[in-house]
Chains A and B, each alone.
Chain A
Amino acid sequence: MSWINAIVQGLFLGGLYALFACGLSLLFGVMRIINLAHGDLAVLGAYGVWWVSTQADVSPFLALLAVLPVMLALGYALQRTVLARSLRGGELTPLLTTFGLAIVLQNALLQIFSPDVRSLGPSVGSLSTGSWRITDQLSVPYLGVLILGVAVAVLGTLQFLLQRTGFGREMRATAQDPDTAALVGVPAASVYARAAAIAVAVAALAGTFLAVHSTFDASSGPTQLIFAFEAVVIGGLGSLWGTLTGGVVLGIAQTLGAQIDPQYSILAGHLVFLVILAGPRGRLIAARRAHA
């Protein structure tokens, strides 16, 4: 029974990873870049929510409503300043600039907020600790359900935006061929900026849920970036529902690993990722990219 419980907990953890992976997947899908500062932007969002909620003494979820527009604007500005210029420098430049940015962000957060480990869990009351008990060993945490629900909602909204709206059509056109899209009146720069704004805002959302679910500090970003990337690759690139599957597979791998021994938890996730990369699916990833 404890194994079934581990799988259920993994499912909910997977919701969190899918939320982290969402912004990464979107930027990769539209701009073909991997934002190495993704995890640190998420942690920045978490610090923002923590700061607002302690200053104004409100619930983190109310604070999130104030922080999200700021993060949208930050993502937009990030694209307009750093990323747009990097993209002109070739395929590798965005990696170098976002990695530099990640280091700046991590150390700036460390300088401002000290190395203390924080959590938003205590400020949401019973939501963070409570659960429905199904049987003795099987329980369904409120927070897990909330996070998974938010992940499904965010992914569903993005999928709807991409497939059914004019904005999504522009984004898909730019992803396929920015020059041709520009010829028919879709400026790549503005599409990219909107994609980056959404990606950074969703990252901040994910960072906030990480902070409510467990703890965070200035150096939490890289780990979250790695988990997000693993979820994207496990789920298959370029598919948002695949990202959800990837997150859930990663989450379940980690909780099953932890079930054997807590120190195997993260290692199990890495191994699943590497096995999938080494297997026939990995070949598929390489082949698809060669034609992209």
Chain B
Amino acid sequence: MTTTAAPAPPGAWSVQRAGLASRIGSSALVLVAIALFAVPQVLSANVVQQLTSLLIFLILAVMWNALAGYAGLVSVGQQTFIGFGAYGTIYLTQRGIQPYFAVVLASLASAVLAAVLSLIVLRLRGGQFAVGTWVVAEAIALFVMLDQSLGGGTGVSLQGLSGYAPEVRRAFTYWLTLAFAVLLLVLLFLLLRHRTGAALQAIRDDEDAAASLGVRVRPLKLVLFVLAGFGCGAAGALTLANTLFIQPQSIFGVQWSAYMIFMVLVGGIGTFEGPIIGAVLFFAVQYFFADQGTWYLIALGLAAVAFALFLPRGLWSLLNDRLHVQLLPVGYHLRRRGARPQSSARET
């Protein structure tokens, strides 16, 4: 970034990590998270179930953004982990493990699966990675359908939660989903706030250039792939806990990837805040228009194409370009000491 023609005297610039906006923003996010924990005490069980699915979308969007927005890995196969997490939960509960504990274990198992699969799919780049992950998802779905004890192709329901009253069950599922969402957001925040954040953004912008500057590309991609495997596994397991029934065709379906791409593209790829906006927006769109069937999906696809072509940095960039706010202090900002802050200077 070139700044001025006249070189500034040394010490005239300072690097800031957090401004007023990000202090307010991050405090607000923490408050929202705390407030969300109280929801089941206040609102009806139906609202709680809807909020659970919103949080699951949020987890998915954040994980897909971590892959595509920071590691440059466009995956069309994250449904591998969504399905694996859900079926892992079924498998574990069939062996007598308490369902909510099984959800946690199945998410961890998805992370292990991601680490194993990374040996194969991280050899691929760009479009090859995209289709390669998709093939893996199809292969694992076929394996699951072969297993009759997991319900084969017809689907299976989650046993072991019938002991809870419906309101209590929904509240527990909601709290667990919220806990996962907060945990994943915090993990990603720490990863971006740390030195790795700058390295990851360098990989996103130009992988070869980053490697030539000494960024260790492979390990960082591996970390994000495993994190995304964990998060998507959790999302799948929680979807099962929320709906109590799954079918292999839908839980391993490529429509999950379409949803994730839509949420992240519309919200703003490669930003921390974008997927959160995208998830809320997608939830609203789905709530009002999902019964339109094919027209709804055509509109989703068209919106994704339009955003990729005309507003590649998503809705968040509209706000960010004008106000220069960042809700969470994950970046670095150059500011001139003693001068007016950059943001107010650019507001005109």
Contacts and interface: CB of A to CB of B under 8 A. Distances in A.
Interface size of B as a range: 35 or more
Interface string B97-141: 000000000000000000000011101111110111011101100
A255 B146 CA distance: 18
B63 interface: no
Given A225-B131, A229-B131, A108 B298 contact: yes
A116 interface: no
B120 A226 contact: no
13 contacts: A34-B130, A82-B309, A89-B309, A96-B261, A96-B305, A100-B305, A103-B298, A106-B297, A222-B134, A267-B142, A270-B138, A277-B124, A282-B123
Given A34-B128, A108-B298, A270-B142, 18 more contacts: A28-B127, A93-B308, A96-B74, A96-B265, A96-B308, A99-B76, A99-B257, A99-B261, A103-B300, A103-B304, A104-B301, A107-B294, A222-B254, A226-B135, A270-B138, A274-B136, A282-B123, A283-B123
Given A36-B76, A103-B258, A283-B123, A97 B128 contact: no
A270 B298 contact: no
A82 B139 CA distance: 31
Nearest to B204: A92
Contacts of A267: 139, 142-143, 146
B258 to A, nearest CB: 5
Given A107-B297, A233-B128, A97 B309 contact: yes
Nearest to A109: B294
A89 B138 contact: no
Interface in B45-62: none
B217 to A, nearest CB: 10
A86 interface: yes
A101 interface: yes
Interface in A234-292: 263, 266-267, 270-271, 273-274, 277-278, 282-283, 285-286, 289-290
B197 interface: no
A129 to B, nearest CB: 29
Interface string A216-235: 00000010011001100100
Contacts of A266: 138, 142
A70 B311 CA distance: 31
B295 interface: yes
Interface string A59-101: 0000000000000000000000010011001011111110111
A111 B131 contact: no
A103 B301 CA distance: 6
Interface string B24-63: 0000000000000000000000000000000000000000
B275 interface: no
A104 B139 contact: no
B127 A95 contact: yes
Contacts of A42: none
Contacts of B124: 277, 285-286
A-side interface mostly: helix
Nearest to B258: A103
A100 B301 contact: yes
What are the nearest 3 A-B pairs in CB distance? A34-B127, A103-B301, A100-B304
Contacts of A273: 135
B298 A107 contact: yes
B19 interface: no
Contacts of A85: 309
B329 interface: no
A279 to B, nearest CB: 10
Contacts of B145: 263
A58 interface: no
A206 interface: no
B312 interface: yes
B120 A34 contact: no
A103 B306 CA distance: 13
Nearest to A265: B142
A274 B139 contact: yes
A33 interface: yes
Contacts of B125: 286, 289
A101 B305 contact: yes
A124 interface: no
A93 B68 CA distance: 11
Contacts of B132: 229, 233, 277
B312 A89 contact: yes
B290 interface: no
A111 B292 CA distance: 11
